[in-house]
Homo-oligomer: A and B are copies of this chain.
Amino acid sequence: MKQAKKQLFHDFIARKGLKSTRQRDLILDGFLSNDRHMSIEELYLALRAKHPNIGYATVYRTLKLFSESGIAREIQFGDGQTRFEHVDEGEHHDHLVCTRCGAVKEFANEAIEKLQAAIAESHGYLVHTHKLELYGICPKCRK
């Protein structure tokens, strides 16, 4: 699955006539082997620990490429940091976010998805994305 994403990204690189570079591979490895909801800075610092002179701008640009290639998606939990999560082919989920510790729980609910589609339909909108986030306190933080 990690291999599949590497493959997808390499195909994307080739298709677009972009170059395969050491940095892109490092960043891809870092992204794929870390938490599913990392901010640019978190990934940058993690990579920086092993590769002292990788640039923030390169991490930033490469994450954008991951989004374009379809292996990542930008998310925004309202804490001022843009985060990126892994995208699995044909899968969709929404988020439960702990406002105390930042923990993120993913969930999928077919009934809600259907209701959303019906609402969009009834208002004549052609929906291409949606965002459903529940903010609260996680079980751990509730003690």
A interface residues (Cβ-Cβ under 8 A, vs B): 76, 78, 96, 98-99, 105, 107, 109, 111-112, 115-116, 119-120, 123-139, 142
* Contact call B120/A127, Cβ cutoff below 8 A: no
Given the interface contacts A99-B128, A112-B116, does A105 sit within 8 Å of B134 by beta carbon?
no
* Contact call B123/A127, Cβ cutoff below 8 A: no
Chain B min CB distance to A137 (Å): 5
Instruction: Give the complex CA separation of A128 and B135 in angstroms.
Output: 6
Chain B min CB distance to A72 (Å): 16
Residue of B99, B119, B124, B128 near A138 (CB, 8 A) is B124
Copies per complex of this chain: 2
Instruction: Give the complex CA separation of A138 and B126 in angstroms.
Output: 7
Given the interface contacts A131-B133, A135-B130, does A125 sit within 8 Å of B96 by beta carbon?
yes
List 23 A-B pairs, Cβ < 8 Å: A76-B76, A96-B120, A96-B123, A96-B127, A98-B125, A105-B125, A109-B119, A111-B111, A112-B116, A115-B115, A120-B136, A126-B136, A126-B142, A127-B134, A127-B135, A127-B136, A128-B136, A129-B135, A129-B136, A130-B132, A130-B134, A130-B135, A131-B135
Instruction: Give the complex CA separation of A141 and B138 in angstroms.
Output: 41
Residue of B107, B112, B133 near A123 (CB, 8 A) is B107
**B residues less than 8 Å from A130 (CB atoms):** 132-135
